[in-house]
Structure 1
Amino acid sequence: MIGEWIRRRLPELIEEHGVVGAQVAVLHNGEIVDAAAGVLDNVTNEPVTSDSIFQIGSITKVWTATLVQELVNEGLLDLDRPVRDVVPEFRLADERAASVITPRQLLCHTAGFEGDLFYDTGDGDDMLAKYLERMAGTEQTTPPGELYVYCNSGYVVLGRIVEVLRGKPFNTVLRERLLDRLGLGNAATRHAEYAGRRCASGHLRGDDGMKPVTEKTPDGDSPAGSVLAMSARDLLAFVRMHLGTTEFDAMRETQVVPPDFGFGGRQGLGWVLHDYDNGLSGLGHVGSTPGNQAYLRVIPACGLAVAVLTNGGAALSVARAVHEKVLGELANVTLREPPEPPAVPVPIDVDAVVGVYRTLRADIHVTAGEQGRVRVRAALRDVDDAPAVIEEYTGFRDDALIAVEQEDGRHGVVVLCGRDEKGRVKWLHWGRVAVRR
């Protein structure tokens, strides 16, 4: 049985891949089985148990989208009207863009403004209002609605919409309408709530091994995924709610087809949508905070969901092993293989790609390399003494490059998006971020 397998195999997997601690939970036909292994912190060595809580990172976005969908269902919000209808103080550097951006674009990552704005605005009830004040100078990466670019800050704006229409702080609404509804009293929506709970510390690799993360993620980013923490079992109780009602079915409808970074996929309202080799469709999301990785996959037609929560190490390898076993056995699904550099690289139009690209925090220099490759050098602007990151890319498809070397067990893919009047690539798109020439 699957429960027996995960309880036996999880300790072996985290040992094989250097993961500090992990929880796995499987929902099948309404029942949840789970397992825990490793430690919450490799200094205290307190063991992970089934009631320990882990930060779930950007999986929080599905919870935020659920609160937004409730507003739509009640007739309190129109996803296709401007955000300013609800939040008049919403400002960006581009006034025209700010006046037309809609909640649907925020939910689908197509609003086009800078997404990684991790402002520390305190932990008070006004933290999201303060965050929006600081967004006033935020630049557009792309015109609204033109291109999928992952956007954390857009979900903070959605959290503020929830606050305004409910008349309560976002975290209060999250607890009252979802956590309390599901009986998830052990979950934490603020850092202040971690005290008294068995909370996993994130771990990052240093010169002498894995070390617990001491820096706190900002509470003001909570609607996007900086704080919400729970057990794998609690996360699947939320999924079971989604599978047991038609109330949120609109969230599963395709809104945007992002560029293909080697895994396919579509974007719904909050959910990432998957297509499997046997014709089944799935939902899911991944989440990351410093030293923590979380993975969620759902196949509604099979009443099946799998959650993997970890706190440091080669977590993706553990999650993939669990997904291969559980989805293969219970849904006859074969996972798509990670992208690899082709044996015969696709020729690169080097002249169209080389140049300087910029984001809010980094300059990206692309130059011609050897053997038809290109060399990508990324230098951070706002971090003192940060070394530049240099990678080589080779041809993957006509519209995409792939990293020659692996990072975290996978080869990164960058999609070449748009052309200017000279035929040069306008954006390099890594999925999480698109950088503009």
Structure 2
Amino acid sequence: MTYVIRGRFWLELAIALVLCVLLGQPITDDQIYDIDLMIEETMKCRRIPALSMALMAGDDILTRGYGLADVETGREADENTVFCTGSVGKAFTSTLMAMIIDQHGNLSWDTKVQELIPSFQLQDPLRSAETTLRDLLAHRTGLQSGDLAFQSGGGVTKDNLLNGLRHLKEETPFRGKFVYNNMMYALLGYIAELLEGKPFETLLSEKIFQPLNMSSAVFVQNLERYQENLARPYTLMGGHFEEVDLETVKVVGDFPSTGGVCVSANDMGQWLRFLLSGGRDMRGNYLVKERLLRDTMAEHMVLYGGMFSRKLRPRFPVSEINIAYGMGWIPSNYRGFSRVHHSGSLWSYTSHAWLFPNEKIGGFLALNGPVGSGASRARETMMAYISDILLGEEPWLNGTTGCEYPKPWEVYPELRYNISNIVYIGPPKRPLVSYTGSFHHPLYGKAVVELSNSSSSQLRILIGKVYSAQLYMLDAIDQFLLAFDGMYKFLTYSDDKQRIGSVVFNMTQAFGDDQYVANSFVLGFLSGDQYDFHRDLSYYNLPSVEVNSSQRKSQHFLLLLTTFVVLINDLW
């Protein structure tokens, strides 16, 4: 009997020691002091209005709020203040899909979409027939993201999503290269609703938020209900904070599966506990099989350069390698530690969640501005510093070097444009009315080019409900620089971000050798995204066929006649 008691004692002691190691070390007061100091210094130099933080190490969860959630009223942020998380919320979507697969015995990550939606069509037959849930979650389709459909607030809806997907352009061969695609996460929300018979928002609430007691979680379309506890979104204009219209955030409201969740630090602490415990709720009950949850954090699509970057020298004094994309997570290696992480951005809101699964350490940061690289750099430096502290490593950044990051290791040119020095100054090379009219894309919706209200010598473009910009002539004929105005003015004119684009018109001869009218245009950005819009005329959708000379003359006459009618309508 004595032998049994001693054996049991040593066994329980060994288990306790192993659990202590596996669960990580608790967060000490000294660590909290160092983290607080680093965050405060970074917020000051980067002009961050407010910040939300949740950390987990061992059994400890630390939540904090810093700065001003409302600059105008002076309302301070705390651990209950709600911040929007952007694409950090893609992990909610992948976890929900894991739960649905767990409950449906006939589903797997490799279930083909056409098995669930027979009418599903993408650009080509191969993609249409072979695309799986794993392909959607891991960004493996090789198709253009189609973000303009969300940003404009007027292109895609749940009703026309399936029809619109077939119009996404190919960027790379199927499964050939990682191409981030929000439209595929919109489709995942649609599939979840189809399989479960409930709205996506209800599914997330019932399967994740309620069991984890995440009572603050709200979807972007319902932000008005949380006005008193919401961190307002900000940008810097002329050195001063300006609030960004919440309507710019709500444009993803129809598809919260892409990243439309807003939540507090306290609730994100519960989310970290769930992830680090292998999928258990607060009572220790599994909400999803641990194997399926681990699948979301595994490597499924090599990131561009990822398989080669391991052979390169580190960019910074420590090694940090993003190896692949998982499903709502990016498996990576930080200073020799296995890590998964994901960032999020929803205009002024920027966020980051990360886990060191083997060490049982996790973190979450969310900022409410300003728009631009400064907030992203702040988020990156704070994540690195906090990770070092919790991992017991010597931090390679501090309050001073963090404010200069990525200098001196990497230096990026300051991309600031003086629009007046770029645009063509002089009389129009064509009558501006030649470019005006209504144009259309089957996925991105309607675009209107019109004479600006402020000047008959200026063009303006309107896309969807909220997308508007001024068009400035460039020296090359039929080419214009795009500068945002209206709700999106901050994208071009904020202190820390300057996004401009270009519009190139394709012209059709109308009345004579020197009179033309625009039949289409290409909208492009420095990111490489390009979007084609065609004038609202049915003949532009006619199939291309071989014709003889008499048929060609007949079609040319029809083209001229139809263009004449359109031009008269536009002038009218």
TM bucket (normalised to shorter chain) is 0.7 to 0.9
2: distance between equivalents of 1:340 and 1:15? 22
- Identify the residue that residue 35 of structure 1 maps to in structure 2: 64
Q: CA deviation at 1:10?
A: 2.9
Q: Secondary structure at the match of 2:69?
A: coil
Which of these residues, 110, 122, 126, is aligned with residue 92 of structure 1? 122
Q: Which moved more, 1:308-317 or 1:256-265?
A: 256-265
Letter in 2 for 1:6: I
Q: CA deviation at 1:318?
A: 2.8
Q: Secondary structure at the match of 1:80?
A: coil
1:323 has 2:383 as partner: yes
Letter in 1 for 2:139: H
- Identify the residue that residue 11 of structure 1 maps to in structure 2: 40
Q: CA deviation at 1:65?
A: 0.5
How many residues are aligned here?
A: 361
- Identify the residue that residue 243 of structure 1 maps to in structure 2: 276
Cα root mean square deviation, aligned: 3.4
Checking the alignment, whether the CA contact within 8 Å between 2:343 and 2:350 is kept in structure 1 is yes
Which of these residues, 213, 220, 230, is aligned with residue 254 of structure 2? 220
Q: What CA deviation, in whole Å up to 9, does each residue of 1:81-108 have, x standing for no partner?
A: 3212112343334344223221111111
- Identify the residue that residue 66 of structure 1 maps to in structure 2: 95
- Identify the residue that residue 162 of structure 1 maps to in structure 2: 192
- Identify the residue that residue 302 of structure 1 maps to in structure 2: 359
- Identify the residue that residue 368 of structure 1 maps to in structure 2: none
Which of these residues, 236, 239, 263, is aligned with residue 205 of structure 1? 236
Q: Secondary structure at the match of 2:254?
A: helix
Q: Which moved more, 1:228-237 or 1:280-289?
A: 228-237
- Identify the residue that residue 259 of structure 1 maps to in structure 2: 304
Relative distance call for 1:200 and 1:116 in structure 2 (3 A) is: farther
Q: CA deviation at 1:122?
A: 12
Checking the alignment, whether the CA contact within 8 Å between 1:274 and 1:283 is kept in structure 2 is yes
Q: CA deviation at 1:136?
A: 3.8
1: distance between equivalents of 2:271 and 2:39? 23
Q: CA deviation at 1:267?
A: 1.1
Checking the alignment, whether the CA contact within 8 Å between 2:385 and 2:396 is kept in structure 1 is no
Letter in 1 for 2:266: R
2: distance between equivalents of 1:190 and 1:312? 17
Bigger fraction of residues in helix? 2
Q: What CA deviation, in whole Å up to 9, does each residue of 1:299-326 have, x standing for no partner?
A: 1111111211101132233323422332
Relative distance call for 1:129 and 1:104 in structure 2 (3 A) is: farther
Checking the alignment, whether the CA contact within 8 Å between 2:215 and 2:267 is kept in structure 1 is no
Q: Secondary structure at the match of 1:39?
A: strand
Letter in 1 for 2:301: V
Structure 2: gaps spanning 5 or more residues: 1-28, 279-289, 307-314, 398-404, 413-442, 445-460, 473-480, 483-494, 498-525, 532-572
Which of these residues, 78, 81, 85, is aligned with residue 56 of structure 1? 85
User: How does 1:125-136 map onto structure 2 within 5 Å?
Assistant: 128-136=158-166
Q: Which moved more, 1:316-325 or 1:168-177?
A: 316-325
Relative distance call for 1:43 and 1:116 in structure 2 (3 A) is: farther
Q: Which moved more, 1:328-337 or 1:38-47?
A: 328-337
Relative distance call for 1:231 and 1:122 in structure 2 (3 A) is: same
Q: Secondary structure at the match of 1:137?
A: coil
Checking the alignment, whether the CA contact within 8 Å between 1:7 and 1:34 is kept in structure 2 is no
Relative distance call for 1:29 and 1:119 in structure 2 (3 A) is: same
Q: CA deviation at 1:13?
A: 2.4
TM-score normalised by the chain length of structure 1? 0.73
1:101 has 2:159 as partner: no
Q: CA deviation at 1:161?
A: 1.2
Checking the alignment, whether the CA contact within 8 Å between 2:63 and 2:269 is kept in structure 1 is no
- Identify the residue that residue 290 of structure 1 maps to in structure 2: 347
Q: What CA deviation, in whole Å up to 9, does each residue of 1:357-416 have, x standing for no partner?
A: xxx99xxxxxxxxxxxxxxxxxx9976436759xxxxxxxxxxxxxxxxx969xxxxxxx
Which of these residues, 163, 176, 182, is aligned with residue 152 of structure 1? 182
Higher Rg: 2
2: distance between equivalents of 1:116 and 1:80? 24
Q: CA deviation at 1:290?
A: 1.2
Structure 1: gaps spanning 5 or more residues: 343-359, 362-379, 390-406, 410-429
Which of these residues, 320, 328, 332, is aligned with residue 270 of structure 1? 328
2: distance between equivalents of 1:307 and 1:104? 25
Relative distance call for 1:13 and 1:117 in structure 2 (3 A) is: closer
1: distance between equivalents of 2:258 and 2:42? 29
Q: Secondary structure at the match of 2:331?
A: strand
Percent identical among aligned pairs is 21
Relative distance call for 1:221 and 1:186 in structure 2 (3 A) is: same
- Identify the residue that residue 421 of structure 1 maps to in structure 2: none
Q: What CA deviation, in whole Å up to 9, does each residue of 1:273-314 have, x standing for no partner?
A: 11122x210011000001111011211111111211101132
Letter in 2 for 1:209: H
TM-score normalised by the chain length of structure 2? 0.57
Q: What CA deviation, in whole Å up to 9, does each residue of 1:221-248 have, x standing for no partner?
A: 31111x2000123223212112112241
- Identify the residue that residue 229 of structure 1 maps to in structure 2: 262
- Identify the residue that residue 46 of structure 1 maps to in structure 2: 75
